[in-house]
Amino acid sequence: MRLDEIDATLALWEGKAAELEGDARVKAESALADMSARRDAFRETIKKEAELREAEWNHAKAAREADWKAFEASAQRYIDNTDAQVEQQKVAFGARADAQRKAWQEAIDKFADDASKASAVHKAKADAAVKQMKADSEAAKSKLEKLKLASAESRSAYEKALNETREAFDRANQAARDAFAN
C-alpha cells in the first residue's frame, strides 16, 4: 500500500513541478529526484522481504520503515519548497487516500477470489475474514473522506489518518492470511 501512496504522490507532484518557476522549480525537482530514489529503495526492500524468513523479515521491515521515513522527509522538503504548501499537502493527501482505497479494493478482491476457491474447512473463516476486511475498508474510506473534505486540517492530522488506515489495512491483511493458513 505504501508503494502505491509513493507512486501516487510522485505522479501528482511531477506534474505540479512543471508549473513552478525559477528557484522553486529547481528545489522541487531536486526533492522529486530524491523521492524517486527513496521510492526505488523502498521497492527493493519490499522485493527482498518477499524472499525472507521470519527473523530476516523483521530486519527488512525495519529497513522498509527507514525508507518510508526518508521518503516522507523528501516529500516534506517538496512541500516546503512550493508556494502553495497547504494546497500541495491537501492534494497529496487526496492522492494517497485514493491509493489506499485502491489497495484496499485490490486486497479485498484477491481474498474474495481466494475464499471462493477455499476448501470447506477454510471457507467459513475465509468468508468471515473477507467480510471483516470489507467492513474495515469502509471505515477507513469514511475516515479518509471526512478528513479529505475538511477545509483546513494540519499535516499531522493527515498523516495520523493515513497511518491509522494503513495499520488497519495491515491488520486486515494479516487476519485474512491467517484465515487461509489455519
Q: How many CB atoms lie within 10 A of CB 3?
A: 17
Q: Report pTM.
A: 0.53
**Cα 182 off chain centre by:** 28
Could you tell me the CA-to-CA distances from 13 to 31, 36, 113, 136, 157 in Å, in that order?
A: 10, 11, 35, 29, 21
- Grid coordinates standing for 3? 508503494
Q: How many helices (H) and strands (E) does the chain have?
A: 6, 0
Per-residue pLDDT of the chain (182 residues; tens, 9 = 90+): 688 888 888 888 888 888 888 888 888 889 899 989 989 988 888 777 766 666 676 677 788 788 888 888 888 787 777 765 667 777 777 888 888 888 888 888 888 888 888 777 777 888 888 888 888 888 888 887 777 666 555 667 777 888 888 888 888 877 877 777 66
How many Å apart are CA 76 and CA 80, to the nearest integer?
A: 6
User: Are 98 and 158 within 8 A, CB to CB?
Assistant: no
What residue ranges do the domains of the chain occupy?
1-83, 84-182
pLDDT of amino acid 53: 64
DSSP-derived letter for residue 148 is H
Listed in sequence order, the DSSP H helices in the chain are 2-17, 22-49, 54-80, 85-117, 120-149, 155-181
- Grid coordinates standing for 93? 493527501
Burial class of residue 97 (count of CB atoms within 10 Å of its CB; 0-12, 13-18, 19+): buried
